[in-house]
A and B are shown apart, each in its own frame.
Chain A
Amino acid sequence: MTMVNDVEASIIEALSPFRRPDSLVTGDTVIMTDLDIDSVVVMDIVMELEDKFEVSVPMDQMARIKTVRELAQTIASIRSET
């Protein structure tokens, strides 16, 4: 669980600049609809996270991810496989 929490904290930090006024980024935040962010910026942020956690998150897998927590779980799970 610690790994997922670590990853989630990193994602929240990276996405915070894109939060809407009076809202917070949490594990339940739906990345594409709850934030003021476009898909290319999301892909660039994922690239940073990939380097930080030394994983590759395939884009096809990214397409199925909706929330911050789902992204954190995916990164943690890929990380544990390597």
Chain B
Amino acid sequence: MSLFQRVAPLKATYDFMRSMGADPLRVEWDDVLSPTQAVKNGRVVTLAGTHNYLGLTFDPQVVGAAIDSLQKHGAGTTGSRIANGTYPEHAAFERELADFFGMPHAMVFSTGFLANLGVLATVAGPDDVLLIDADSHASIYDACGLSKAQIVRFRHNSAEDLDKRLERLKGHTGNKIIVIEGIYSMLGDRGAMREIVAVKEKHGAYLIVDQAHCFGVLGENGLGLVEEVGMLDKADIIIGTFSKSLGCVGGFAVSNLPDFDAMRIVCRPYMFTASLPPSVMAGARAALNAIRTRPDLRAKLWRNAVFLYDNLAQAGFKLGPEKTPIIAVELPSRELAIDTWRGLFDAGFYVNLALAPATPGGISLLRISVSAAHQPEQLQGLAEALTRVATSNGALATRLAAE
């Protein structure tokens, strides 16, 4: 049997996309000009699928800090922190992040994916149960695969379903660890934190919140959903990434748990991979400072998100349930989603195409991510192009007829 026989159905979906003239998973840019513009085949394309929420990738302070550190401390660390030591940039970032959350512990990982993998697989032992939301990110599912714990999946955002599943575990003596996300990456809806915290407390469980898509985005100070709902102290561990609002690459975990630092000597995805280059840490530190000191970025992001969401809703598209910077546009079929993605790309706009099995309920989506760096005319242009493409290929008419 071929080594890839197992993945034949996924390969078939990918081949089908390519047969329709679209290759959304392998777009190669000729150049990248700014947080919202890249070049493909000599034409400028507006980027609206890169989760660059605050548009900090080209921020002069972020880039400047990275350049300074690159010159001062070199291109890479050539190994992990347990083997090669901690650079001043790692330590400073961790101190400032912990201070920002008002928590004693902050720990940096080399990517957000590794943060989920490392935290979940380490805290959940063989006698424990990880209870994960059905719409969890791939890194959470893979963490479950790495963990020796029992894995229970509950219905998306349903505290009631979680409660029922915890009831069934009544006699179980190990820890119960609930995992939710701040904003879910496919439909852009918030985690039902208040309701889930009530269930967590009822059953004496722990709660981990992955804030990849909401750090820097939600809450008065940008601390994410935990801040927005006033429950900073209710999450036992908060996970995040540098690769979205912070505009760099990396992951983190912050916690109030007294012995959290034990993670540094047991968490293998932290211990046995190279630490982030100091220049990345310096850039992320400058971006963190921007989140703390420039609330106007967040205000602009939300103005842009509401503007685009309202425009698309008015045009008749079926959108995700909440107005957030992730705007999911549901298309009536896989074929129409692929065709609409291609038409939009040809018109000069890049968004994400998401199909089953990556989507909840197997629906077909175009996923748009809005940035504070988008100009209103870019978003207006995107809404018009999407409406034009979806009208000409019948996607919008099919959708309206189904109403």
B144 near A59 with CB under 8 A, answer: yes
Interface size class of B (residues with CB under 8 A): 10 to 19
- Contact bitstring B142-153, A, C-beta under 8 A = 1, else 0: 001100011111
A58 near B168 with CB under 8 A, answer: no
A38 near B144 with CB under 8 A, answer: no
Those of A34-80 within 8 Å (CB) of chain B: 38-41, 43-44, 47, 51, 54-56, 58-61, 63
Report A-chain residues with C-beta under 8 Å of the C-beta of B129.
58
The reply on B362 being an interface residue by CB < 8 A is: yes
A60 near B150 with CB under 8 A, answer: yes
Cβ-Cβ contact count across A and B, 8 Å cutoff = 40
CA distance A55 to B167 in the complex (A): 10
Among the listed A41, A44, A55, A59, which residue makes an inter-chain contact with B151, where contact means beta carbons less than 8 Å apart? A59
The prevalent SS among residues of B at the interface is mixed
Report B-chain residues with C-beta under 8 Å of the C-beta of A47.
134, 153, 155
CA distance A74 to B168 in the complex (A): 16
The reply on A82 being an interface residue by CB < 8 A is: yes
B168 near A44 with CB under 8 A, answer: no
Among the listed A43, A56, A61, A63, which residue makes an inter-chain contact with B169, where contact means beta carbons less than 8 Å apart? A56
A43-B362 contact in complex given A59-B144, A59-B152, C-beta closer than 8 Å: no
Report B-chain residues with C-beta under 8 Å of the C-beta of A55.
168
B151 near A58 with CB under 8 A, answer: yes
Among the listed A38, A56, A60, which residue makes an inter-chain contact with B362, where contact means beta carbons less than 8 Å apart? A38
CA distance A18 to B9 in the complex (A): 14
Report B-chain residues with C-beta under 8 Å of the C-beta of A54.
168
B357 near A58 with CB under 8 A, answer: no
Centre residue among A39, A41, A54, A58 by max chain B CB count within 10 A = A58
A56-B168 contact in complex given A40-B362, A43-B153, C-beta closer than 8 Å: yes
- Contact bitstring B115-159, A, C-beta under 8 A = 1, else 0: 000000000000001000010000000001100011111010000
The reply on B356 being an interface residue by CB < 8 A is: yes
B356 near A56 with CB under 8 A, answer: no
CA distance A63 to B153 in the complex (A): 13
Identify the closest chain A residue to B5 (Cβ).
Answer: A33
The reply on B165 being an interface residue by CB < 8 A is: yes
Report B-chain residues with C-beta under 8 Å of the C-beta of A43.
134, 153
Report B-chain residues with C-beta under 8 Å of the C-beta of A60.
144, 149-151
A-B contact pairs, 29 of them (CB 8 A): A38-B9, A38-B362, A40-B356, A40-B357, A40-B362, A41-B362, A43-B134, A43-B153, A44-B134, A44-B361, A47-B153, A47-B155, A54-B168, A55-B168, A56-B152, A56-B169, A58-B129, A58-B150, A58-B151, A58-B152, A59-B151, A59-B152, A59-B153, A60-B144, A60-B149, A60-B150, A61-B150, A63-B145, A82-B168
Beyond the given A40-B357, A58-B150, could you list 9 further A-B residue pairs with CB under 8 A, ordered by the A residue number?
A38-B356, A38-B362, A40-B362, A41-B362, A43-B134, A56-B165, A58-B152, A59-B151, A60-B149
Q: Which 4 A-B pairs have the closest CB atoms?
A: A59-B151, A38-B357, A40-B357, A58-B150
